[in-house]
Amino acid sequence: MCGIIGYVGSAERDAPDAIDVLLEGLSELEYRGYDSAGVALANGTLDVHKAEGELEALTSSLSTESLRDPAVGIGHTRWSTHGPPTDENAHPHTDAEGRVAVVHNGIIENYQTLRDELAADGVTFESQTDTEVVPHLIARSLESGDGDDGDERYDSADHKRAFRRAIDRLEGSYAIAAVFEGEETVYATRKDSPLVLGIDDSDGGAVATDGSDAVAATDGDGSTGYFLASDVPAFIEYTDRVVYLEDEEFVRLDATGWTVSDSDGVPLEKPVQTVDWDAEDTGKSGYDHYMLKEIHEQPSSLRQCLRGRVNELQGTVTLEELDALVDREFASPVRFVACGTSYHAARYGASLLQRRGTPATATIASEFTTDRVPVADGSLVVGITQSGETADTLRALREAQTAGATTLAVTNTVGSSAARAADHALYIRAGPEIGVAATKTFASQQLSVSLLSAALTDRASHEEVQSLRRVPDQVQTVLDTSNARAIAAELVGAGAFFFIGRGLNYPVALEGALKFKEITYEHAEGFAAGELKHGPLALVTEDTPVFAIVTGDGEVARKTISNIKEVEARDAPVVVVTDGVSDVERYADYVLEIPETDERAAAVLANVQLQLIAYWVAHEMGRSIDKPRNLAKSVTVE
């Protein structure tokens, strides 16, 4: 989805050039997915540059020497929703006179009404975007002084009020930033789209504003200034001190400080938090792709996930942040909601709870709201979202809350919208994930819901806790010994790829197929192994490799082996992911081994092999692995 960056250099020192900060920030936001980019620089006049395509197209169109002076600007990477990716549709958008430039992430749902209204007033639109109504609304407010409804709050010279007035007219979701001709200030606000402030001043205190218009002033000890972005990596190189904005809060940044106020203009005190990442966490560390780096980070991110939460000696699981939740009785069933990869973690979590005798369901978040799934008063609804910003999941959580449910966000992102919207948050502690394809966050979601299911049911055997503890080392073993690259090379070029599993391995099959299609662009499907014979078997030929996950040697393994025989009889190449306990290897053309463990942990290990298969097939095919076509990391529209 779109990415926003804003920057105001500190008044107290030789701050970096805005153009450099904006371009670096946009490059850090590339992972969100985009198809055009642009910047607006404010230095008395407004200087707007934008280009369709990769950031490179924008950079090479700029004569940066002529842009060296301005210390204030906004930038944007656009992921098309209204109108194709063209120079005209790229942000920033301006009014006809070029007095204000605006960038936006989200969807303005009433844009057609506003567009018709503005067009009737004589406004000519340059783009097909929903966003362009915003600069025109701001311009109209500036022109009309106290406003066409006679509201005296507004003054023609007051950019801040004109900005607020325009925002008042919007319905939908937005993070919006604006700069004006004749003023070196950035104005911004958000509703259902992420926006975070980065503070690099010399104040250093826990709370940096008293709400006046010029606070948190610098004292000149080397601060760079104030940042605004859709996500922290955009400015982490400069500062790890952040302020998370809530819906309908307004922020104003200038060289002397920052202020946040509510929708009525009342100044707010906002805590400054420190994020525990540094710039290196968001680099590639020598790997060709973020995805491969993140796959290899799993042993360490899983250790972080478990740290302080499991006690092997006592065989207990403790989730301190959920103390107030775990001893409560909830109306049945526990409902998980999520999208994409996180939905697969939700299915896995629901299965774990069911195995402990607690009724649980997993529903795709957009279907949850569309179907108006009845939520019992007093039930527990768990939203799983690595970004914490997925619009569908946020809506499901909010609707559940309105219906009287207690909500829990299982997320990777401290301070995210989901973490703040839900009654409780469980952090998966995976660290920043830049590759669009979710990898380490899925593994950490699997472990987190394992911990959650034990904590909610107050039951975890010694063996279970031990096997959870062993997962990080066993993932390392898979990474050290995997032959996925060689198998991938053999399978490239096949017509389609199927993934099958039963029980806890069914969500892993779904996830294996999603990862595969997402980055290889090849047709891949995941099935419950027992479902093949009810239809999909018609597609199976010698040109459709089937990946089957078989762990343990119980009934589930035996039945999956029967399903493997069904595809083998149709000459499909069979790749088994197995711990070797069931002797399934003899039915396989290729084997991806995982260490022996219990069935819950095996589902985490098996997935790592499938991540590697997807990666190496995509690599072999020369795909854009970290930024697959048409996809965005953080999906902030419904």
Which residues would be at the binding site for ligand M6R (CB under 6 A)?
A: 339-342, 385-387, 390, 393, 436-438, 514, 518, 634-635
Q: Which two tokens stand for residue 589?
A: 């053309």
Closest contact distance (angstroms) between CB of 347 and ligand M6R is: 13
Q: Which is nearer to ligand M6R, 95 or 433 (CB)?
A: 433
Known catalytic membership, residue 633: yes
| Active-site residue identified among 160, 270, 517, 633 | 633
CA distances to 14, 80, 253, 296 from 632, in Å: 36, 11, 28, 22
H or E element at residue 92: none
Q: Which is nearer to ligand M6R, 436 or 465 (CB)?
A: 436
Closest contact distance (angstroms) between CB of 222 and ligand M6R is: 35
**How many C-alpha atoms does 404 have within 13 Å on its Cβ side?**
8
Q: Which two tokens stand for residue 152?
A: 């005296």
First to last CA, the chain: 12
DSSP 586: G
Closest contact distance (angstroms) between CB of 607 and ligand M6R is: 12
Q: Which is nearer to ligand M6R, 437 or 572 (CB)?
A: 437
Q: Which residues does 160 contact at the CB level (< 8 Å), separation at least 6?
A: 187, 250, 252
Closest contact distance (angstroms) between CB of 445 and ligand M6R is: 8
Q: Which two tokens stand for residue 573?
A: 């190449």
- The residue assigned the tokens 């009785």 is 329
DSSP 384: E
Q: Which residue is nearest to ligand M6R (CB)?
A: 340
C-alpha 259/C-alpha 201 separation (Å) is 13
Q: Which is nearer to ligand M6R, 42 or 610 (CB)?
A: 610
DSSP 461: -
**Cis amide prior to 135 (ω within 30 degrees):** no
The closest of 297, 209, 309 to 253, measured between CA atoms, is: 209
Q: Would you tell me how many other CB atoms lie within 10 Å of the CB of residue 637?
A: 18
Print the SS3 string covering 32-73.
HCCCEEEEEEEECEEEEEEEECCHHHHHHHCCHHHHCCCCEE
**How many C-alpha atoms does 227 have within 13 Å on its Cβ side?**
35
Q: Which is nearer to ligand M6R, 298 or 386 (CB)?
A: 386
Q: Are 229 and 4 in contact (CB under 8 A)?
A: yes
> Per DSSP, what are the bridge partners of residue 259?
252
Known catalytic membership, residue 339: no
C-alpha 402/C-alpha 407 separation (Å) is 10
Q: Which is nearer to ligand M6R, 291 or 601 (CB)?
A: 291
Closest contact distance (angstroms) between CB of 326 and ligand M6R is: 23
Q: Which is nearer to ligand M6R, 387 or 551 (CB)?
A: 387
| Active-site residue identified among 2, 270, 440, 627 | 2
> Per DSSP, what are the bridge partners of residue 191?
174
Q: Which is nearer to ligand M6R, 77 or 341 (CB)?
A: 341
C-alpha 241/C-alpha 1 separation (Å) is 24
Q: Which residues participate in catalysis according to the annotation?
A: 2, 633
